[in-house]
Structure 1
């Protein structure tokens, strides 16, 4: 049995491994650190279920004619400050738990691996906030969700569009009590890259990491920073220009092969809610942007509309035009990123040198980048950040 012919055809969603009744499929890391299904031919009975639940092979979306778009922000200021954009996720997640349901989101484990976790405890929801630009390990999450649904529990799942599509295919229609939020995805770098990054940061700062944010608002929403707090009290923050992890990510040199040929690039998704960054609040609303962050929200289902109606009091929001939002801020909804010309080479010799040497070798951070970031930090400390944000590079 063959599930995919090339790596561009596998998004690593785990649906195939989760559905196999014979446990013949195992998710195995390749040389780049991405997980792919490996079939044990001695256990496989060629039932074909793995191919039937593959979201890449079976990418069907039923058009929802009442699709609506909003720009939203949580009324909870602490939540907004700690979130990547407008803090949409936390209020709806808290509401689900208040209703007796379960929430499935992305967080770090105690070794800073990026994983999916299931909880019905409100105090654990803060771990799910914020972007994590790494492919999460789903492990047996899908099968656990199915057990909850079979016991008539309500579940809210958050993930990338391909993960949501994979979960929906795996459940094969048993999703009446499932709500899904998909986050518009730029691509997912390898966990191997992430492991190397945090290892070198620990070495450089001579300490374990206490807290980390991929998109901190330490310098405002429009100047997102990688921010790390270390146990020894040291503090690091750098923008995507000069941070090693972010420069690899936005340099399009580190994402999964399927991300550059994504099959899920469409305004219509199988989720109930689609969210992405709102950078153009002023252009869309005509109001001043306070640089705290807003979220574009597309409601994709009747169930989603009914839920949002019950949660409106949790948000500051304005209804928006879907196409205008996509045109201004959402190109990644419809278009795949174009890979760096040396993307394959980047991973091929990845183990031969440190990440800092590797980033320098592939020209991902230049002297000019360091200079611009240094100027921005100076202006930020002098409380004239707005000038820094107007710097072009």
Structure 2
């Protein structure tokens, strides 16, 4: 039976829970708010399927051996592009699958603003999956649902983090020609417990339940995105991402899952057929691709990914770009982040002090002097590189 001796050896993909023939594995939340498998030994028959499908314990062998093709892209539908985190390419891919009577699996908010994976079969519902959610998604039984759809001969597009896609592949244990996958350039997944406490803090502060949350609002452009939160009392909370306490903690890597710091799936070659990302830094090398409305970086990792993209070519603008340049400006494509030195203390404080105090201690934006120093240091570093290159 599956046994997680070190937290870093479990990515929380739910493959073990989905595969168990006796339903004796349940994903339970630990003190930090992350899911880990717990086995009911009275029901376990020691079939070891759970160990067999674990992408971490199995040390998933990525069959994608070719260097990806890098593309700058966006959806030609201006409204969909506006509603999306970057260029809106996911929607074009998903709409084509639905046009083939296929199904989509991806992450969205439920009624309680928990992020969960779900099945989508109509285009209108794709809005649930659009835009980034910076918290780990609960896969639930969607691997099993996807397998059922694949067995029925339906085309399936499954989207998620690289480890979730690896978990799907190991769970299925065979190749399906009707399966298409997209992973994201994952920075790491924050704790759902931290997000829940942040949500409770906001609802208490604004005296109302949250009705809508957008992590990547383009109200002032794509590159300087805002976090926008609407409440049932018509209050609106908007903060630039660099001033938003939750995003500050996320970008500081202070409350990510332990496995994220040693991720073996955010690498080149990639796990999925297509990788979706923001094309940060695009304007410096490809100014024609930067109108600040959102430019997607696509990595075409397999022949199947190329075929899927070509099927949508009438809905997407694409231009081939330099892979090394793209990775330089979005390093999470090819490597894991480092743990924050205050991570352990942050989680100790999480249950013992108010979120307001957590913000003051860990999640405050840098003061003006620090920001000025940072900008000056950045300018000097660029000058130094130009002089000595």
- Answer yes or no: same fold by TM over 0.5: yes
1:349 match: secondary structure: helix
Alpha carbons 2:242, 2:248 under 8 Å: kept = yes
Kindly provide the CA deviation profile for residues 335-389 of structure 1, in whole angstroms up to 9, marking residues without a partner as x.
21111111011112212122121121236434439999xxxxxxxxxxxxxxxxx
Give the CA deviation at 1:221: 0.9
Alpha carbons 1:251, 1:364 under 8 Å: kept = no
2:222 counterpart of 1:221: yes
| Match in the other structure for 2:361 | 361
Question: Bigger CA drift: 279-288 or 177-186?
Answer: 279-288
| Match in the other structure for 2:244 | 243
| CA distance 1:234–1:370, change in 2 (3 Å) | farther
What TM-score do the two structures reach when normalised by structure 2?
Answer: 0.91
| Match in the other structure for 2:352 | 352
What TM-score do the two structures reach when normalised by structure 1?
Answer: 0.90
Kindly provide the CA deviation profile for residues 72-131 of structure 1, in whole angstroms up to 9, marking residues without a partner as x.
000011111111111111111111111100011111111111010101111100111110
| Match in the other structure for 2:13 | 13
Structure 2 Cα separation of the partners of residues 275 and 283 of structure 1: 20
Pairs within 5 Å for 1:181-196: 181-196=182-197
Kindly provide the CA deviation profile for residues 209-246 of structure 1, in whole angstroms up to 9, marking residues without a partner as x.
22111111122111121111222222211123321211
Give the CA deviation at 1:288: 6.5
| Match in the other structure for 1:259 | 260
Pairs within 5 Å for 1:297-308: 297-308=298-309
Alpha carbons 1:240, 1:250 under 8 Å: kept = no
2:52 counterpart of 1:52: yes
| Match in the other structure for 1:124 | 125
2:93 counterpart of 1:92: yes
Alpha carbons 1:72, 1:86 under 8 Å: kept = yes
| Match in the other structure for 1:376 | none
Give the root-mean-square deviation of aligned CA atoms.
1.9
| Match in the other structure for 1:138 | 139
Alpha carbons 1:86, 1:293 under 8 Å: kept = yes
Pairs within 5 Å for 1:253-332: 253-287=254-288, 289-327=290-328, 329-332=329-332
2:45 match: secondary structure: coil
Alpha carbons 2:67, 2:268 under 8 Å: kept = no
2:351 counterpart of 1:338: no
Structure 2 residues without counterparts, runs of 5 or longer: 373-378, 380-389
Say how many residue pairs are matched: 372
1:223 match: secondary structure: coil
Structure 1 Cα separation of the partners of residues 369 and 238 of structure 2: 14
Give the CA deviation at 1:155: 0.8
Give the CA deviation at 1:282: 2.1
| CA distance 1:39–1:321, change in 2 (3 Å) | same
